[in-house]
Chain A
Amino acid sequence: MFVTAASFKKTFRRDWRDWITFVLFAGPNLLLFVIFTYYPLIRNFLLSFQEYNPIIDKGEWVGFNNYVDILIQDTQMTRIMQNTLVFTVSVVALILVLGLLTALLLNQKLRFRNGVRSMLFSPAVLAGSAVAVIWLYIFDYRFGLFFQVLKYFGINSPKWLLDPQWAMISLIIVYVWKNLGYATVIYIAGLQAIPADLYEAARVDGAGAWQRFRNVTLPGLSPVTFFLGVTSVLNSFQSFEIINVLTRGGPVNATNVLVYRLYEQGFTEIQNYGRASVVATLLFVIMFILTLIQLRAIERRVSYA
Chain B
Amino acid sequence: MGISAQKTINHVFGYIGMAILVIIIGVPLLWLVSGSMKTNPEFYTATPSLIPERIHLDNFYKAWNQASFGSYYINSIVTTLIGASAEIIMAVTTAYALVFVRFPFRNFVFVMLLVALMVPEQVVILPNFLTIADMGLLVTSSRDLSTQDYIRGWLAIILPGASIAFGTFLLRQYFRTVPADLVDAAKVDGASHWTTMMNVIAPVATPAIATTGLLSFTAKWNEYLWPLIVTFSDRLRTLPIAMRRLLDAEGNAEWGVVMAAAIFVVLPVILVFLYAQRYVVDGLASGAVKG
Give chain A's interface residues, CB within 8 Å of chain B.
15, 18-19, 21-22, 24-26, 28-30, 32-33, 35-41, 43-44, 47, 57, 102, 105-106, 108, 110, 112-113, 116-123, 125-130, 133-138, 143, 145, 148, 177, 181-182, 185-186, 188-190, 193, 223-224, 227-228, 234, 237-238, 240-241, 244-245, 259, 262-263, 266-267, 273, 276-277, 280-281, 283-284, 287-288, 291-292, 295, 298, 301-302
**Cα separation A215 to B96 with both chains bound (whole Å):** 42
CB distance from A240 to the nearest CB of B (A): 5
The 8 Å CB contact of A36, one of B46, B131, B270, B289, is: B131
Assuming the A-B contacts A130-B262, A245-B247, are A280 and B126 also in contact, with contact meaning beta carbons closer than 8 angstroms in the complex?
yes
The reply to whether A259 and B258 form a contact with Cβ atoms under 8 Å apart is: no
Q: Kindly list chain B residues whose C-beta atoms are within 8 Å of the C-beta of A241.
A: 224-225, 240
CB distance from A157 to the nearest CB of B (A): 13
The reply to whether A18 and B131 form a contact with Cβ atoms under 8 Å apart is: no
The reply to whether B109 and A30 form a contact with Cβ atoms under 8 Å apart is: yes
Q: Kindly list chain A residues whose C-beta atoms are within 8 Å of the C-beta of B159.
A: 32, 36
The reply to whether B93 and A134 form a contact with Cβ atoms under 8 Å apart is: no
Q: Kindly list chain A residues whose C-beta atoms are within 8 Å of the C-beta of B73.
A: none
CB distance from A258 to the nearest CB of B (A): 9
The reply to whether A133 and B258 form a contact with Cβ atoms under 8 Å apart is: yes
Whether B9 is near chain A, meaning CB under 8 Å from some CB there, is no
Assuming the A-B contacts A36-B124, A133-B243, are A118 and B47 also in contact, with contact meaning beta carbons closer than 8 angstroms in the complex?
no
**Cα separation A19 to B15 with both chains bound (whole Å):** 59
| B50 to A, closest residue via Cβ | A145
Assuming the A-B contacts A25-B101, A128-B222, are A116 and B18 also in contact, with contact meaning beta carbons closer than 8 angstroms in the complex?
yes
The reply to whether A125 and B289 form a contact with Cβ atoms under 8 Å apart is: no
**Cα separation A280 to B27 with both chains bound (whole Å):** 37
Q: Kindly list chain B residues whose C-beta atoms are within 8 Å of the C-beta of A186.
A: 284-285, 288-289
| CB-CB nearest 7 A-B residue pairs | A32-B163, A40-B127, A189-B285, A25-B97, A40-B124, A127-B222, A43-B127
The reply to whether A108 and B291 form a contact with Cβ atoms under 8 Å apart is: no
**Cα separation A114 to B106 with both chains bound (whole Å):** 41
Whether B203 is near chain A, meaning CB under 8 Å from some CB there, is no
Which of B93-112 touch A at CB < 8 Å?
A: 93-94, 96-98, 101-104, 106, 109, 112
Q: Kindly list chain A residues whose C-beta atoms are within 8 Å of the C-beta of B44.
A: 143
The reply to whether A134 and B123 form a contact with Cβ atoms under 8 Å apart is: no
The 8 Å CB contact of B31, one of A19, A127, A137, is: A137
Whether B179 is near chain A, meaning CB under 8 Å from some CB there, is no
- A-contact bits for B72-103, CB 8 A (1 contact / 0 none): 00000000000000000011011011100111
| A234 to B, closest residue via Cβ | B120
The 8 Å CB contact of A240, one of B25, B27, B224, is: B224
| B252 to A, closest residue via Cβ | A140
Q: Kindly list chain A residues whose C-beta atoms are within 8 Å of the C-beta of B127.
A: 39-41, 43-44, 47
Assuming the A-B contacts A29-B164, A186-B289, A287-B118, are A129 and B131 also in contact, with contact meaning beta carbons closer than 8 angstroms in the complex?
no
CB distance from A232 to the nearest CB of B (A): 12
Question: Most chain-B Cβ atoms within 10 A of its Cβ — which of A19, A128, A143?
Answer: A143
Whether B244 is near chain A, meaning CB under 8 Å from some CB there, is yes
**Cα separation A133 to B117 with both chains bound (whole Å):** 30
| B219 to A, closest residue via Cβ | A125
